[in-house]
Chain A
Amino acid sequence: MKKFLTTVAAIGAGAAIGLGAMGASLAATPKSGGVLDFVVPSNPPSYDAHQETTFGVIHPLAPMYSLLIRVDPNDPQSSAFVCDLCVGGVPSATDGGKTYTFKIRTGVKFHDGTPLTSADVKASLDKIVSPPKGVPSSRKATFVMVDSISAPNAETLVIKLKFPSGAFIPALGAPFNWIYSKKDLDRQNGYSWHKTHVNGSGPFIFKSHVAGSHIEGTKNPNYHHKGMPYLDGFKAIIAPKMNLRVQAIRADHAAIEFRGFPPKHRDDLVKALGDKITVQESDWNCGNLVVFNTKMKPFDDKRVRRALTLAIDRWNGSKYLQKIAIVKTPAGIVFPTHPLAATKAELEQLAGMWPDIKKSRAEARRLLKEAGQENLTFDLHNRAVDQPYKHVGTWLIDQWSKIGVKVTQKAVPTAEWYSKFRKTKDYQVGLDANCQSVVNPVADVAKVLCSSTNNYSQCENPKLEDLFEKMNKESDQAKVRTMMREYERIVLDEEAYIGHALWWYKINPHRSYVKGWKIAPSHYLNQQLDNVWLDK
């Protein structure tokens, strides 16, 4: 495990250096003071991250909360975790990989002055892992391995697993697992109290929320990471229109937007502001998936599915699409820079990733002919969102036209898009997305598992189920990697239930005076802002 984490860290560090934008802020000495104004594309739903799933709740409210462990804010590319409320490093498992014992920091206080103990951590994790009846928890399913959580004393938290699992620590480090005060959870309506109230122990204290406009936080002088936060406060301004967010940065009404802009907006900002803009870029733990409805003819025939994925020239398409859309890297089902991801040589063995596109398309035509589908036409069910759905959809239609397949793009609003996938299931081929927070491949690839409620292909494959279960219970990463290759081969090649289009690419142009913040592989990560400072 240690070797695995070291490898992850090395790759992450390499990626960070390669990006180049972070070097300057690493070298400078942080200055205290100032208020960071940033724009958020989404109006946050309730304040309770345990049940919400949008970054709209993370960006303005995560700075007010602490986590038990978190992605390293100084090296968020690494996928390594560090303690936030625990002491020392993230503990290694004992008891054959089944027990984790966390030492909880002393002297930490919630913003209302209540001391934080292991009982608060236990109560919060209990709400996430095994919520009472009638309380929704959006991440309960990621903790299937957890057997019990106990707090034998105020400074100790013990989590026992049913089986050893490499997916546990990343699940625990998810940015939504905010630690609430047990006192608040024990209130008469405790499990809904956090939907409308904020009381955390994070670097910033909730100051105000003007509905639909902005959320403000002020510095927590008692923050447990000494010397931080550097900022006096922040203002998260809600601005749904992308053009306006770009112009807001240009006019310095906001210094940064943490989700990500398309390449054109990056270029526009750099052109307008020169060195007053710094750009950070990273592979993004989100990808578009072409989903074939295996219960719908002719997509019940794997030759047709395979032909359609073989027709897509991902290697060349990436070169052009990355200039206009937030996509870039061609890869398999695992986040491209993760050690569990396929190497280029391994990828080139998979359907649709062959280096010779002519050979690939010839094989696609042969398969369609063999299946009696030479004049195939179908509708592509897509989400009416430009970046990157409609861009990728348009590109796919062009790729399929190269093998004589005629496709019509049907882009619909988000609710209808989901409804067709999840309820009516009356689509032929759809463009879906797999967008995750912490890079946790074993959990992330559950998306393409046939029994997953989020896999809309309606496939059935006991072999995949078996492989997934084994991966989940295996702590030897070399063995997990071997199993992952087989799992990937079945999904993308042999059965071609899913065609992985391209991985997204995160581009964050921001005012150069914003220092300390480092781009993570997800817009959900590294948002506590305690190490951010303003060089003004």
Chain B
Amino acid sequence: MYKYVVNRVLLMIPTLLGAAVLVFLVLRLAPGDVCEMRMAGTGLFADPEAIAICQDNLGLNDPKIVQFGRFIGGYFTADLGISMWTAQPISHEIEVRFKLSLQLALMATFLSVLIAIPLGTISAVKQNTWMDYAVRTFSIAGIAMPSFWLGILIILGLLISTQAWFGTPWMPPIYYVPLFEDPMGNLSQLIWPALATGYRYAAVSTRMTRSALLEVLREDYIRTAHAKGLLEKLIIRRHALKNAMLPVVTVIGIEFAFLMGGLVVTEQVFNLNGLGKLFVEAVLNHDYNMTQQLVMLVALIFIITNFLVDLLYAWLDPRIRYA
């Protein structure tokens, strides 16, 4: 097990290097740069001398290999550098957003697990009954409906209904307050996007739980458990569900990693100051430093999440042993 963990950690290095090369090259293929965006992006007079000085100061005229060396050297020494757009340290810019993204991802994951596992189980156990059809309709609707669109509906619904009922329109707050500073303010902002994203997430997990459980329920050892006269509840909880959880855990892991950096549109809809919104701004502003570090962060989150999911497999199914 120890050897397996060390190997997996070492494998992270070439994976991250690959991501670094890719993002570095792709970013520089796009026309324009951050100095043009800052100094000419508004239609005002753009002084070519000022743009040239800005490019020089930011090292944009340095050879590409030097720029790459600076980027990768900084990454592996935890010096993420300065945002080309705001001139603030990238570590600070990311730290502010990371808290929100993490909280939202955890809330959405919690909601989805809370919904998906019971519903998926009911759907599998009561296969081809009205309950199964209802759950399947619910989950297919969740997969079909983009979270950002559901987010827009939630905001409009809140505005219209509160104006109709209370005379004053209300919508979730538009800036973030930390949970421990103002729990009510924090939750009243994040519960809605958590619902919007959690619904889709729950829909995917429900379907996965259902199909995995259906497969397990047809296994010989489940039939044996029934033959031994074990209670149905016990069979499902102790023998079937735990074994059916392997693919579900994988889906939950991937979705969690996706939520950490991929809520690009939903964050814009709710004006959430998260990593997804920062990603969009960094790309649009041609802030190479920020975009590169964000890609590396998301890559790292995916790698770590996958690694943890793999470790979880062994706990869920003791037959799995890593060597």
Contact = CB atoms under 8 A, between A and B. Distances in A.
Q: Is this pair of chains taken from one and the same complex?
A: yes
B278 interface: yes
Output the residue of B50, B156, B173 with the most chain A CB within 10 A: B50
Interface string A127-143: 00000001111111110
B273 interface: yes
B230 interface: no
Given A250-B159, A251-B170, A447-B45, A414 B284 contact: yes
Nearest to B48: A453
Contact of A247 (B33, B44, B159): B159
Nearest to B287: A45
Contacts of B226: none
A282 interface: no
Contacts of B36: 415, 418-419, 422
A195 interface: yes
A237 B175 contact: yes
Interface in B248-273: 268-271, 273
A134 B61 CA distance: 14
Interface residues of B, number: 56
A53 B174 CA distance: 26
Contacts of A247: 155-156, 159, 171
Given A241-B271, A247-B159, A253-B174, A45 B32 contact: no
Contact of B175 (A52, A195, A196, A210): A210
Interface string A206-220: 000011111000000
A244 B86 CA distance: 23
B53 A136 contact: yes
Contacts of A437: 44
B75 interface: no
A195 B171 contact: no
B50 A140 contact: yes
Contacts of A212: 93, 96-97, 273, 277-278, 281
A437 B42 CA distance: 11
B92 interface: yes
A420 B30 CA distance: 12
Contacts of B42: 53-55, 435
Interface in A379-436: 413-416, 418-420, 422-424, 432-436
B169 A251 contact: yes
Given A210-B176, A418-B32, A52 B38 contact: yes
Contact of B57 (A53, A136, A240, A423): A136
B47 A241 contact: no
Interface string B145-173: 00000001001100100010000111101
A214 to B, nearest CB: 5
A416 to B, nearest CB: 5
Contact of B86 (A45, A138, A139, A434): A45
B49 interface: yes
Contacts of B56: 134
Interface in B213-269: 268-269
Given A43-B281, A212-B278, A251 B41 contact: no
Contacts, number: 178
B37 interface: yes
B184 interface: no
Nearest to A414: B41
Interface in B50-75: 50-51, 53-54, 56-57
B241 to A, nearest CB: 41
Interface in A432-465: 432-437, 446-447, 453-454
B39 interface: yes
B116 to A, nearest CB: 29
Contacts of A52: 38-39
Interface string A34-51: 000001000111100001
Contact of B38 (A53, A239, A248): A53
B87 interface: yes
A68 interface: no
A454 B30 CA distance: 21
A424 B31 contact: yes
Contact of A420 (B31, B85, B92, B155): B31
A45 B38 contact: yes
A300 to B, nearest CB: 24
B86 A46 contact: yes
B314 interface: no
A453 B155 CA distance: 45
A53 B46 CA distance: 8
B112 to A, nearest CB: 25
A272 B169 contact: yes
A454 B278 CA distance: 30
A161 interface: no
B318 interface: no
B40 interface: yes
A529 interface: no
A240 B268 contact: yes
A125 interface: no
Interface in A465-483: none
Output the residue of B41, B170, B268 with the most chain A CB within 10 A: B41
Given A211-B96, A418-B36, A196 B88 contact: yes
Contacts of A53: 38-42, 44, 46
Given A51-B54, A54-B41, A140-B47, A413 B159 contact: no
B31 A419 contact: yes
B32 to A, nearest CB: 3
A419 B93 contact: no
Nearest to B38: A45
B47 A138 contact: yes
A356 B69 CA distance: 64
B36 to A, nearest CB: 5
A424 B30 CA distance: 13
A116 interface: no
Contacts of A138: 39, 44-47, 50
B30 A415 contact: yes
A254 interface: yes
A417 to B, nearest CB: 8
B43 interface: yes
B286 interface: yes
Nearest to B270: A244
A365 B286 CA distance: 43
Nearest to B280: A240
A192 B87 CA distance: 9
A243 B268 CA distance: 10
Given A51-B39, A136-B54, A436 B44 contact: yes
B43 A434 contact: yes
Interface string B165-198: 0001111011110000000000000000000000
B53 A134 contact: yes
Nearest to A446: B45
A53 B45 CA distance: 9
Interface of A: 39, 43-46, 51-55, 134-142, 192, 195-196, 210-214, 235, 237-241, 243-244, 247-248, 250-254, 272, 286, 413-416, 418-420, 422-424, 432-437, 446-447, 453-454
11 contacts: A45-B38, A54-B41, A138-B45, A211-B273, A240-B268, A247-B156, A251-B171, A414-B284, A415-B284, A422-B40, A435-B42
Q: Which 6 A-B pairs have the closest CB atoms?
A: A415-B32, A435-B43, A419-B31, A136-B50, A433-B43, A136-B53
Given A45-B285, A415-B33, 4 more contacts: A46-B87, A139-B47, A415-B30, A415-B32
